[in-house]
Amino acid sequence: MSTTELPLLVIPGDDPVQIAGSPRLETLREHFEIRLHDNRPANDDEKIERATGATALINSRGAVTWPGDVLGQLPDLKFISTCGIGTDSIDLAACRELGITVSNIPGRTAPVVAEHAFALMMAISRRTSYFTAAMKRNDWHQILSTSLSGKTLGVIGTGNIGTEMIRLSRAFGMEVIAWSFNPDGEKAQQMGFRYVERDEVFSQSDVVSLHVKLTDDSRHLVASRELSLMPPGSLLVNTARGAVVDTAALVEALDSGHLGGAALDVYENEPLETDHPLIRCEHVVLTPHCADQTPEGNDLLNLGAMENAIAFLQGHPQNVVS
């Protein structure tokens, strides 16, 4: 079969690089004509221009969003795969109406993301960023940091990543309590943690780590009320989605000194503005939505997107979310 006879697969905005140069692309070329764009589309019109004629998209960057009015102008489009677990960049309701299958990549990079969440927890508890910034100003002073062994970690969301975070933290000597939209009592028994009411996670934890997907039910799940329940000096870690936390309430809790610190990989608006209030908060650790960005993590995501696209083409779609 010649290239012109192959269905078109578009990668609309691979910026920063996720899949460009991956050997997984070469496998995809056996099944699709590939059109890869290495910069983000400037607007919806450019998205439509890039995706016109495509049977499939691999949305390698969640910053490239697909609202219903854009999808409605792509009559050839039948399939979208994300390059991760999150699908909040895609109007799933519109996809259902338009007959567009959407697949994601659940679970594969859970150990990679959980490792990053654990590193963030360690960094904020021992105030490594704060001390580093102070020493670079020739400011040598010591303040108390937090030991984690023996402390209580509260986990919100016990899916693949939350489960890995629990495993790491239990091995480190932490007690773990958790709340989930879908609790699994057998998992709790096997791993040695307890499910409790959601308010108790906030009120009884030295550290709260967030691991839920962004839905209408989880948007601003952590707001002023929840933050006020947290013990003075406690810590918040978020590697889920930025909008799970009410950012204004978080800044207020940090500025007041009620929270001892926060460690964040995700934000309500990305990239984070240079004058954002979080930037001036002293006891924060910030990373640029990069929890799964290791060579191993990237390849796992690229492999998953490749397999999703080929499975759809062969008539047995997998990891379908819409």
What does the pLDDT look like over 48-81, one tens digit per residue? 999 999 999 999 999 999 999 999 999 999 999 9
Is 11 found in the same domain as 42? yes
Pairing mode, strands 79-82 and 261-264: unpaired
Give yes or no: 175 in active site.
no
Tokens of 163: 């489960």
pLDDT score, position 165: 98
Is 13 found in the same domain as 49? yes
pLDDT tens string for the chain (322 positions)?
A: 444 589 999 999 999 999 999 999 999 999 999 999 999 999 999 999 999 999 999 999 999 999 999 999 999 999 999 999 989 999 999 999 999 999 999 999 999 999 999 999 999 999 999 999 999 999 998 999 999 999 999 999 999 999 999 999 999 999 999 999 999 999 999 999 999 999 999 999 999 999 999 999 999 999 999 999 999 999 999 999 999 999 999 999 999 999 999 999 999 999 999 999 999 998 999 999 999 999 999 999 999 999 999 999 999 999 999 9
Is 162 found in the same domain as 77? no
DSSP string, 83-139: SSS--TTB-HHHHHHHT-EEE---STTHHHHHHHHHHHHHHHHTTHHHHHHHHHTT-
Question: Could you give the CA distance from residue 165 to residue 192 in angstroms, rounded to a whole number?
Answer: 13
Is 77 found in the same domain as 19? yes
pLDDT score, position 1: 42
Helix (H) / strand (E) containing 308: helix 295-313
**319 within domain boundaries:** no
pLDDT score, position 291: 96
**322 within domain boundaries:** no
DSSP string, 194-226: EE--HHHHHHH-SEEEE-----TTTTT-B-HHH
What does the pLDDT look like over 228-287, one tens digit per residue? 999 999 999 999 999 999 999 999 999 999 999 999 999 999 999 999 999 999 899 999
Q: What is the reported pTM?
A: 0.91
Q: Which of the following is catalytic: 97, 270, 273, 296?
A: 270
Q: Which of the following is catalytic: 37, 61, 167, 289?
A: 289
CATH of the domain at 209: 3.40.50.720
**321 within domain boundaries:** no
262 with 236: CB under 8 angstroms? yes
Give yes or no: 211 in active site.
no
pLDDT score, position 5: 86
Helix (H) / strand (E) containing 47: helix 44-51
Is 114 found in the same domain as 167? yes
Is 305 found in the same domain as 181? no
197 exposure class (CB count in 10 Å sphere: 0-12, 13-18, 19+): exposed
256 with 229: CB under 8 angstroms? no
Q: Domain containing 114: what range?
A: 110-286
Is 148 found in the same domain as 44? no
Is 158 found in the same domain as 38? no
Is 118 found in the same domain as 101? no
112 with 291: CB under 8 angstroms? yes
Give yes or no: 289 in active site.
yes
Total residues belonging to the chain: 322
